[in-house]
Structure 1
Amino acid sequence: MNGESHQVLRAQLGAYVLGRLDEPECVALQAHLDCCGDCRAELAELVPVAEALAEVDPDRVSDEPAVPPGLGEAVLGRIRAERRTVRRRSARLSVGVALAVLTGTAVGYVAADLLRLPPAPLETVAVQQLAARVAASANLVPHTWGTEIKLTARGFEQGAGYRVVVTDRRGGDHPAGEFVGNGAGEIRCNLSSAVLRTEAAGFRVLDTEGRTVLAAAF
């Protein structure tokens, strides 16, 4: 995928979280998320923001949010960096997005929509520990853009890397994130996949050799 197409899909992440994309756009973005770690990471950062805003009382939020001090210079710095790293046409797209944020209009619009969203329901997931000393629990959160897994665990090997995949109902695996083991210490991970809840059948945690050490069926 060229840089221009990537930037266009990346710019749709906010609308994706809000459920404002039509079905063809959702399908295209979900396919992109399956193979783009950067966009999955950015999408994962949007999830807690949406959840936090959902807890805010709309009556106590100003209709005209103030622009934080220094935001203008920060955005201009990002624009300069974009101009050095992407082609001219992609840079113009980034400038347009940045200017919309600067005006406060986009910020107020997105915040107002998120404030009207009800908190996402938590679904308890039965977890099967397949490795000694590993103990875990998990909750599932269905979203309009995919499925989020909230994993709490201990007993993963200290310093070892693990990756998580969500399995769809056709048996295909889709990346949902990675984490590093903390031994006896507890870890809490928010893992995100573009697979919709209606299509998700479960998830697995794999070690560096591809062995399943934790699994769950939805």
Structure 2
Amino acid sequence: MSTHRELREQLGVYALGHGTPAERAALCAHLDGCADCRAELAALAPLRDRLALADPDRLDDVPAPPAGLGDRVLAGIAAEQTAGRAAVVPLRRRRWVAAAAAAGIAAAGFGVGWLVRPVPEPPPLEPVAVQVAVPQVEASADVVPHTWGMEVQLHGAGFTPGEVYRAQVTEDDGRVVPAGEFLGTGEAEMVCNLNSSVLREDAASFAVLDSSGAVVLTSSL
């Protein structure tokens, strides 16, 4: 499994056409028998194509704001001040105008620079069945696989307000790994992102326990 993880971490290098011949041959052989890695490599392809459009010589350039933006901002401030002589404008509003102008200049520069950077696709959600052991609790869950482990997005209500609940993931070999804690919110619906270092293909189940250690809900993976 350690070999699988090491090879999976090289998918980005492989997608960009880098790596030594020996490394690429080993990863190519691994891809023939691993559907998960083939799917992840396919998801990296759009990012590879976008990176090819980026100009490395311009990544460190500081984008300039649109021509005339500074003059328009100053003219707007001057007009606001002139109007304030006829109808007193609260000081708080003038400060807000100046702050908004500065934010606009910064946002313009940031937006131009951001356009040259690739935007990753959102991770896939895998709905999983949840078995609830406490009558007043309602819950559903989705699993998100990552290269660093697994994320469980838990939606629920009915957890005792203020009580600390503990989540855990059980691996195929029986090892139990913590996946975070959360506070109950009563009848209010909550959404928790619980993270574990266990890879999705190694996970057998996850569970949520109350402060006494009693199982509140489980899900077989």
Higher alpha-carbon Rg: 2
Instruction: Return the TM-score normalized by structure 1.
Output: 0.49
Query: RCO greater where, 1 or 2, for CA within 8 Å and sep 6 or more?
Result: 1
